[in-house]
Amino acid sequence: MASHRSDPVSTRRPARDIIDAVVDNMRRNLEPLKYSTLAASRYTVYLHPSEFRRLEGIVPILREQTARALREELEKLNHGSRVGRWLGRSMRRPGADIQNAGSDWHVEFVADPDGDLAEGDMLVDSELMLPSSPDLAMGERTRRITTVHTGSRTTTMREQTNVRPAAASPAQVLATIVYEDDRGRHSYDVVKESLTVGRGGIAYPVDVRIASSPDVSREHARIRRDAASGRFFLIDLSSLGTTLNGRHVPRGYDEVEGSKRENGAETLVPEEARIGLADTVFLDFRKAG
């Protein structure tokens, strides 16, 4: 009698699932303008190292077919219904076609460098350059959409960065942060009005990257400066909590349909303060001047 052996369930994803994940990310990073809607043109796909090795030989084909799928999705989204197109023409409404924000599609496939992804997981990251905002005295604004695919679950993270026009004068130091982690003692000069602290990773680009145990979250806290008053505020984004001079601050986000949404909770930071990250790493904050 032949023996039966059950093979372990494979965590591999078909390459078509990876293409579908990029198309899904594109749909989530659309920016409506007055006469059209922009779609992000640049995508980075992070794969588990073993998955990347398996697909490395066909990456050029995968890149070409992903670009083709993005083009076809735009055509599908722009096609609309017959009734909708007829109404638009009869009412002389301007077209709202979705278009690539760049001249072409750019898709890169890379191995996860930080060990964030388990086998079968993948992360898709896209950036869309938004129009400048004169009322905020800002230059370009960049919106970053990150989708993490774990099994059948997709988690979306959104980040928007306002970039001031380049200035001729050197940046002013607004505050100083001194801390000690597994790599030793560090000093960080705060020169912008918002910075993020944490262990970082491919899905969590942080300004102050902490080398520590997983008790410190990838994106643990944000420090924000109010330009009008010059005061600083602390926002907790962590799983295990953040303290300010020994007291826990309220959590600054809510979990909504698999996404972290900041809820506006923030705590005023004194001119000198000690910020604790999960009671593991402590930052000594001092406002300049």
- In a domain, residue 195? The reply is yes
Residues 204 and 248 in one domain: yes
Tens digits of per-residue pLDDT, 181-209? 999 999 999 999 999 999 988 877 899 99
For 229-285, the pLDDT digits (tens) are: 999 999 999 999 999 999 999 999 998 876 778 899 999 999 999 999 999 999 999
Question: Is 254 inside any structural domain?
Answer: yes
Residues 61 and 123 in one domain: yes
Whether 25 has a pLDDT exceeding 70, the answer reads yes
Evaluate whether residue 8 is within a structural domain. Answer: no
Q: Which of 95, 127, 162 is the last residue before a domain boundary? A: 162
Q: How confident is the model at residue 4, as a pLDDT?
A: 45
Q: What is the mean pLDDT of residues 165-185?
A: 81
From 118, 137, 162, the end of a domain falls on 162
Average pLDDT, the chain: 85
Q: Are 151 and 42 contained in the same domain?
A: yes
Q: Is residue 76 part of a domain?
A: yes
How would residue 83 be classed by pLDDT, with cut points 50, 70 and 90?
A: very low
Q: Total structural domains in the chain?
A: 2
Q: Verify that 189 and 256 share a domain, yes or no.
A: yes
- Cβ-in-10-Å burial (0-12, 13-18, 19+) of 191 comes to middle
Pair (146, 214) in one structural domain: no
Of 102, 132, 162, the domain-final residue? 162
Whether residues 41 and 153 fall in one domain: yes
DSSP 87-108: HHHHTTPPP-EEEESSSS-EEE
Based on the fold, state whether residues 256 and 150 are members of the same structural domain.
no
Q: Which long-range contacts (CB under 8 A, 24 or more apart) does 137-146 make?
A: 137/164, 138/162, 138/163, 138/164, 138/165, 139/163, 139/164, 139/165, 139/166, 143/29, 143/31, 145/25, 145/28, 145/29, 145/40, 146/203
Alpha-carbon distance of 190 to 143, in angstroms, equals 22
pLDDT in tens, 136-157: 444 457 888 999 998 888 988 8
